[in-house]
Amino acid sequence: MKLIYFSWVKDRIGTAEETVELPESVKTVADLLAWLPGRGANFANALADPAIIRVAVDQEYATPETDVTKATEIALFPPVTGG
């Protein structure tokens, strides 16, 4: 599965994208956001407040309950502001 990171999430993690194999325990967006910080200090720093992270699964906005088990691409990004 491809994980894509945007804006300061990308900067803190240190990469724009990566391909990973999720553990069997990761079934939802909430599971993913709980698992990622355990991958290292850079992930823990970027995802310290998972409530503000926005997620898209296969280019569709997702909720914490969204299933990720069949996803091909997941994007993580900070809140989008406009003016």
Q: Would you say 46 and 12 are in contact if contact means Cβ atoms under 8 Å apart?
A: yes
pTM of the model: 0.93
Fold of 2-77: Ubiquitin-like (UB roll) (3.10.20)
Q: In which element (H, E) is residue 17 found?
A: strand 17-19
Could you state, in order of their start, the residue ranges of all structural domains in the chain?
2-77
In this structure, the strands spanning 2-5 and 17-19 are antiparallel
Residue 80: which pLDDT band, with cuts at 50, 70 and 90? confident
- Coil vs helix vs strand at 15: coil
pLDDT in tens, 31-49: 999 999 999 999 999 999 9
Tell whether the model's pLDDT for residue 25 goes beyond 90: yes
Name the residue with tokens 């999720």: 22
Q: Hey, how many other C-beta atoms are within 10 angstroms of the C-beta on 29? A: 23
pLDDT tens by residue, 50-76? 999 999 999 999 999 999 999 999 999
Q: Which helix (H) or strand (E) holds 74?
A: strand 73-77
